Amino acid sequence: MSDLSNNKPETGAFFQRDRAWHAPALTPGYKTSVLRSPQKALLSLDGTMSEITGPVFGHSLLGELDNDLIHNFAKPGESAIGERIIVHGRVLDERGHPVSGALLEFWQANAGGRYRHKKESYLAALDPNFGGCGRTITGEDGTYRFRTIRPGAYPWPNGVNDWRPAHIHFSIFGHGFAQRLITQMYFEGDPMIWKCPIVTTIPDRSAIEQLIAPLDWANTIPMDARAYKFDIVLRGRRSTLFENRMEGN
Amino acid sequence: MVQDLGYLKESPSQTAGPYVHIGCTPNFAGITGVYEADLGATMVNDRALGERITVRGRVIDGAGVPLKDALVEIWQADAAGFYNSPSELRGTADPNFTGWGRCPTGADDGIFTFETIKPGRAPYKDGRKMAPHITVWIVARGINIGLHTRMYFADEAEANAEDPLLARIEHRQRVATLVAPREGSVYTFDIHLQGEKETVFLDI
B3 contact A CB<8A:
no
Structural domain boundaries enclosing A194:
54-232
In a domain? residue B14: no
CA distance A162 to chain B (A): 15
Does a structural domain hold residue B17?
no
Q: Give Cα separations from B17 to A55, A96, A178, B36 (angstroms).
A: 23, 29, 20, 24
pLDDT digits (tens, 9 = 90+) for A148-166: 999 999 999 999 999 999 9
CATH number at residue B89: 2.60.130.10
Please choose, from the candidates A107, A46, A33, A172, the residue with its C-alpha nearest in 3D space to the C-alpha of residue B10: A172
Q: Is residue A7 part of a domain?
A: no
Q: Which residue of B has its CA nearest to A201?
A: B144
- Whether B15 maps to a domain, the answer reads no
Q: Does residue A245 sit within a domain?
A: no
- Domain span including residue B147: 40-192
Instruction: Read off the pLDDT of residues A51-104 as tens digits, 9 standing for 90 and up.
Output: 999 999 999 999 999 999 999 999 999 999 999 999 999 999 999 999 999 999
- Structure pTM? 0.96
Domain membership of residue A65 (yes or no) is yes
* CB pair distance less than 8 Å for A184 and B126: no
Q: ∠ CA(A110), CA(A108), CA(A61), 5° rounding?
A: 120
CATH number at residue A132: 2.60.130.10
The pLDDT of residue A2? 43
Structurally, chain A folds into a number of domains equal to 1
Give the amino acid at B75.
W
* Domain count across chain B: 1
Q: Give the Cα separation of A102 and B86 in Å (integer).
A: 13
Would you place residue A244 in the very low, low, confident or very high pLDDT band (cuts 50, 70, 90)?
A: low
Radius of gyration for the alpha carbons in chain B, expressed in angstroms and rounded: 18
The pLDDT assigned to A3 comes to 44
Q: Answer yes or no: is A3 within a domain.
A: no
Complex ipTM over 0.90: yes
The reply to whether residue B125 touches residue A42, judged by beta carbons under 8 angstroms, is: no
**Mutation choice for B interface testing from A39, A50, A136, A168 by most B CBs within 10 A:** A50
Is the residue at B170 inside a domain? Answer: yes
Q: What angle do CA B90, B94, B95 make, to 5 degrees?
A: 115
Within a domain: residue A12? no
The helix (run of H) or strand (run of E) holding residue A208 is: helix A205-209
Report CA-CA distances (Å) from A34 to B20, B61, B197. 20, 9, 17
Q: How far is B194 from chain A (nearest CA, A)?
A: 5
Report the pLDDT averaged over residues B66-74.
98
Catalytically active residues of A are 115, 154, 164, 167, 169
- Of the listed ranges A6-10, B22-26, B147-151, the least confidently predicted one is A6-10
CA angle A164, A169, A170 (to 5 degrees): 155
Residue B125 is predicted with a pLDDT of: 87
A170 within a domain of the structure (yes/no): yes
- Does B5 fall in a domain? no
Q: Torsion angle, CA of B80/B84/B85/B88, rounded to 10 degrees? A: 20
Residue A46 within a domain = no
